[in-house]
Protein backbone atom coordinates (compact mmCIF):
# COMPACT_ATOMS: atom_id res chain seq x y z
CA UNK A 1 0.00 0.00 0.00
CA UNK A 2 1.10 3.56 -0.62
CA UNK A 3 2.54 5.59 2.26
CA UNK A 4 2.18 9.02 0.71
CA UNK A 5 5.23 11.20 0.38
CA UNK A 6 8.42 10.52 2.35
CA UNK A 7 9.49 14.04 3.28
CA UNK A 8 10.24 15.79 6.56
CA UNK A 9 7.02 16.85 8.30
CA UNK A 10 6.53 20.61 8.19
CA UNK A 11 3.63 22.33 9.95
CA UNK A 12 0.73 23.32 7.68
CA UNK A 13 0.97 26.99 6.72
CA UNK A 14 4.77 27.21 6.99
CA UNK A 15 6.39 29.17 4.16
CA UNK A 16 9.86 27.67 3.81
CA UNK A 17 12.62 29.67 2.04
CA UNK A 18 12.34 29.36 -1.74
CA UNK A 19 15.40 27.13 -2.18
CA UNK A 20 14.02 24.68 0.39
CA UNK A 21 10.62 24.66 -1.28
CA UNK A 22 12.17 23.87 -4.66
CA UNK A 23 14.38 21.13 -3.14
CA UNK A 24 11.35 19.61 -1.40
CA UNK A 25 9.37 19.62 -4.63
CA UNK A 26 12.27 18.05 -6.53
CA UNK A 27 12.55 15.33 -3.87
CA UNK A 28 8.83 14.62 -4.10
CA UNK A 29 8.66 14.42 -7.90
CA UNK A 30 9.95 10.85 -8.36
CA UNK A 31 7.63 9.69 -5.58
CA UNK A 32 4.64 11.40 -7.17
CA UNK A 33 5.51 9.97 -10.58
CA UNK A 34 5.90 6.49 -9.07
CA UNK A 35 2.51 6.73 -7.33
CA UNK A 36 0.83 7.65 -10.63
CA UNK A 37 2.74 5.26 -12.84
CA UNK A 38 0.52 3.76 -15.54
CA UNK A 39 -2.62 5.55 -14.25
CA UNK A 40 -4.65 7.17 -17.01
CA UNK A 41 -7.93 7.89 -15.18
CA UNK A 42 -8.49 11.62 -14.87
CA UNK A 43 -10.16 11.63 -11.44
CA UNK A 44 -7.72 9.11 -9.97
CA UNK A 45 -4.82 11.31 -11.10
CA UNK A 46 -6.41 14.51 -9.80
CA UNK A 47 -7.33 13.03 -6.41
CA UNK A 48 -3.87 11.55 -5.92
CA UNK A 49 -2.10 14.75 -6.98
CA UNK A 50 -4.29 16.82 -4.64
CA UNK A 51 -3.25 14.54 -1.78
CA UNK A 52 0.46 14.33 -2.60
CA UNK A 53 0.91 18.01 -3.47
CA UNK A 54 -0.81 18.89 -0.17
CA UNK A 55 1.84 16.82 1.62
CA UNK A 56 4.66 18.27 -0.48
CA UNK A 57 3.70 21.95 -0.20
CA UNK A 58 3.24 22.89 3.47
CA UNK A 59 2.59 26.53 2.53
CA UNK A 60 -0.75 25.79 0.85
CA UNK A 61 -4.16 26.20 2.48
CA UNK A 62 -5.93 24.88 -0.62
CA UNK A 63 -4.70 22.56 -3.31
CA UNK A 64 -6.81 21.05 -6.04
CA UNK A 65 -8.42 21.09 -9.43
CA UNK A 66 -11.08 22.98 -11.34
CA UNK A 67 -12.32 21.10 -14.41
CA UNK A 68 -13.65 22.58 -17.61
CA UNK A 69 -17.29 21.45 -17.70
CA UNK A 70 -18.66 23.77 -20.39
CA UNK A 71 -17.35 26.16 -23.02
CA UNK A 72 -16.43 28.87 -20.47
CA UNK A 73 -17.14 27.24 -17.09
CA UNK A 74 -15.04 25.43 -14.48
CA UNK A 75 -16.38 23.15 -11.72
CA UNK A 76 -14.46 22.08 -8.67
CA UNK A 77 -12.66 18.73 -8.74
CA UNK A 78 -10.66 16.77 -6.18
CA UNK A 79 -8.99 18.98 -3.57
CA UNK A 80 -7.52 19.33 -0.09
CA UNK A 81 -8.30 22.25 2.20
CA UNK A 82 -11.43 24.18 3.13
CA UNK A 83 -14.51 24.18 0.96
CA UNK A 84 -13.84 25.76 -2.44
CA UNK A 85 -16.26 27.58 -4.76
CA UNK A 86 -18.20 25.02 -6.77
CA UNK A 87 -18.18 26.85 -10.10
CA UNK A 88 -15.97 29.55 -11.59
CA UNK A 89 -16.67 31.10 -14.98
CA UNK A 90 -13.81 31.95 -17.31
CA UNK A 91 -14.55 35.63 -16.62
CA UNK A 92 -13.88 35.42 -12.87
CA UNK A 93 -10.91 35.15 -10.55
CA UNK A 94 -7.42 33.82 -10.96
CA UNK A 95 -8.69 30.40 -12.05
CA UNK A 96 -10.88 32.03 -14.70
CA UNK A 97 -7.94 34.08 -15.98
CA UNK A 98 -5.84 30.92 -16.22
CA UNK A 99 -8.56 29.04 -18.11
CA UNK A 100 -9.26 32.02 -20.40
CA UNK A 101 -5.64 32.68 -21.34
CA UNK A 102 -4.44 29.07 -20.96
CA UNK A 103 -1.35 30.44 -19.22
CA UNK A 104 0.01 30.00 -15.71
CA UNK A 105 -1.08 32.69 -13.25
CA UNK A 106 1.49 33.39 -10.53
CA UNK A 107 -0.13 35.94 -8.22
CA UNK A 108 2.13 37.15 -5.39
CA UNK A 109 -0.66 39.23 -3.79
CA UNK A 110 -4.26 38.28 -4.50
CA UNK A 111 -5.48 41.62 -3.09
CA UNK A 112 -3.84 43.27 -6.10
CA UNK A 113 -5.51 40.91 -8.59
CA UNK A 114 -8.74 42.41 -9.98
CA UNK A 115 -11.64 39.99 -9.55
CA UNK A 116 -9.88 37.55 -7.24
CA UNK A 117 -12.44 35.19 -5.68
CA UNK A 118 -11.90 34.90 -1.93
CA UNK A 119 -13.05 31.36 -1.11
CA UNK A 120 -10.87 31.66 1.99
CA UNK A 121 -10.14 35.14 3.38
CA UNK A 122 -6.77 33.89 4.63
CA UNK A 123 -5.44 33.38 1.10
CA UNK A 124 -2.79 35.94 0.13
CA UNK A 125 -1.08 34.41 -2.91
CA UNK A 126 -2.02 31.93 -5.57
CA UNK A 127 -0.60 29.79 -8.36
CA UNK A 128 -2.89 28.43 -11.07
CA UNK A 129 -1.60 26.19 -13.85
CA UNK A 130 -3.53 25.17 -16.98
CA UNK A 131 -3.83 21.48 -17.82
CA UNK A 132 -4.06 20.36 -21.41
CA UNK A 133 -4.98 17.00 -22.84
CA UNK A 134 -4.09 16.54 -26.50
CA UNK A 135 -4.02 20.32 -26.90
CA UNK A 136 -7.39 21.08 -25.32
CA UNK A 137 -7.94 22.58 -21.86
CA UNK A 138 -8.96 19.93 -19.31
CA UNK A 139 -8.93 22.30 -16.33
CA UNK A 140 -6.53 23.99 -13.92
CA UNK A 141 -4.45 23.16 -10.87
CA UNK A 142 -5.15 25.78 -8.17
CA UNK A 143 -2.80 26.34 -5.23
CA UNK A 144 -3.54 28.94 -2.53
CA UNK A 145 -1.23 30.20 0.22
CA UNK A 146 -1.95 32.31 3.31
CA UNK A 147 1.37 34.17 2.85
CA UNK A 148 2.17 36.79 0.18
CA UNK A 149 4.64 35.48 -2.42
CA UNK A 150 3.93 31.90 -1.47
CA UNK A 151 5.08 30.51 -4.82
CA UNK A 152 8.03 31.16 -7.12
CA UNK A 153 8.42 30.88 -10.87
CA UNK A 154 10.74 27.89 -10.30
CA UNK A 155 7.93 26.06 -8.47
CA UNK A 156 5.53 27.04 -11.26
CA UNK A 157 7.83 25.57 -13.96
CA UNK A 158 8.25 22.30 -12.04
CA UNK A 159 4.50 21.95 -11.55
CA UNK A 160 3.80 22.82 -15.21
CA UNK A 161 6.10 19.97 -16.25
CA UNK A 162 4.46 17.61 -13.77
CA UNK A 163 0.99 18.45 -15.10
CA UNK A 164 2.16 17.93 -18.70
CA UNK A 165 3.67 14.55 -17.87
CA UNK A 166 0.87 13.16 -15.73
CA UNK A 167 -2.09 14.36 -17.81
CA UNK A 168 -0.30 13.81 -21.11
CA UNK A 169 -1.24 10.13 -21.08
CA UNK A 170 -4.97 10.40 -20.48
CA UNK A 171 -7.20 9.85 -23.52
CA UNK A 172 -8.47 12.87 -25.48
CA UNK A 173 -12.12 13.74 -24.79
N1 LIG B 1 -9.17 32.14 -5.45
C2 LIG B 1 -9.59 31.48 -6.65
C3 LIG B 1 -10.89 30.74 -6.43
C4 LIG B 1 -10.74 29.32 -6.08
S5 LIG B 1 -10.45 29.03 -4.52
O6 LIG B 1 -9.67 29.93 -3.82
C7 LIG B 1 -10.38 27.51 -4.02
C8 LIG B 1 -9.72 32.43 -7.82
O9 LIG B 1 -9.67 33.65 -7.66
O10 LIG B 1 -9.86 31.94 -8.92
Distance CA 59, CA 150 (A): 7
149, exposed or middle or buried, with CB in 10 Å at 0-12, 13-18, 19+? middle
**Residue 1: its pLDDT value, please?**
46
Q: Specify the DSSP class assigned to residue 86.
A: S
Nearest Cα residue to atom 3 of ligand 1: 117
**Is residue 2 over pLDDT 60?**
no
Q: How confident is the model at residue 124 (pLDDT cuts 50, 70, 90)?
A: very high
**Residue 118: its pLDDT value, please?**
86
C-alpha dist (Å) from residue 141 to 3, 9, 128: 23, 23, 6
Q: Phi and psi (nearest 5°) for 145?
A: -135, 140
Taking the CA of residue 118 as reference, the ligand 1 atom at the shortest distance is 1
Nearest in space to 74 (alpha carbons), one of 119, 38, 125, 123: 119
Partnered with residue 75 across adjacent β-strands are 67, 87
CB-based pocket (< 6 A), ligand 1:
62, 84-85, 88, 93-95, 116-117, 119, 123, 126, 142, 144
Q: Answer whether 0.75 is exceeded by the pTM.
A: yes
- Quick count: other Cβ atoms within 10 Å of Cβ 91? 12
**Residue 71: its pLDDT value, please?**
96
pLDDT tens digits for range 30-39: 999 999 999 9
The residue whose CB lies within 8 Å of the most ligand 1 atoms, and thus the one to mutate among 91, 95, 122, is 95
Amino acid sequence: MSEGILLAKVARGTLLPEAERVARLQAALPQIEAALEGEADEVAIQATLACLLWETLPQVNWCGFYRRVAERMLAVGPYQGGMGCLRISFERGVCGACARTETTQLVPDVHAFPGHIACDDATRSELVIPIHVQGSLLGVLDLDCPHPEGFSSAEARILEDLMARTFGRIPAR
